[in-house]
Copies of this chain bind each other. A is one copy, B any other.
Amino acid sequence: MDEPTPREMCAFEAGIKLGALFHQFIGTPVSNASKASLEEAIRSAVMNQPYVKRVDVRIKPEVLERASKNAFGYASLTPEMLEASVWIEYRGVTCRGRLAYVEDKRYPLMWVEFE
């Protein structure tokens, strides 16, 4: 068995964080009024995890607004609403895990970039 390289570990750790944030928070009740506090809580939660240098989270206001046009004026957080970037630093290697809903795949894609 051969050891993962720092780049492989960086990618692995980035994947963990994206999988975690998606599956922890999808389904959370959210509205224009609570959007900022949810974004901040996701950011702060992921910042706790190992090797995380920075986290950006964005709940897309136009998708949220459309989803909130129902009898009760709020929605459950959906994959379509959520965008995130997580910067990982592992033994001198930095990478950025990204999550964004890709319309033409109809899928919340996750990918990793080395900068």
A interface list, Cβ under 8 A from B: 1-2, 4-5, 7-9, 11-31, 33-34, 37-38, 40-50, 69-74, 76, 78-79, 97, 102, 105-108, 110-115
Contacts and interface: CB of A to CB of B under 8 A. Distances in A.
A95 to B, nearest CB: 8
Among A22, A47, A48, the one with the most B-chain Cβ atoms within 10 Å of its Cβ is A48
Given A41-B41, A78-B78, A105-B70, A31 B48 contact: yes
27 contacts: A1-B115, A11-B11, A12-B12, A12-B112, A15-B15, A15-B16, A15-B19, A18-B19, A19-B19, A19-B20, A21-B23, A22-B27, A23-B28, A24-B24, A24-B28, A29-B45, A29-B49, A30-B48, A33-B48, A34-B44, A38-B45, A48-B73, A69-B106, A70-B105, A71-B106, A71-B107, A72-B105
Nearest to A47: B34
Contacts of A70: 105-107
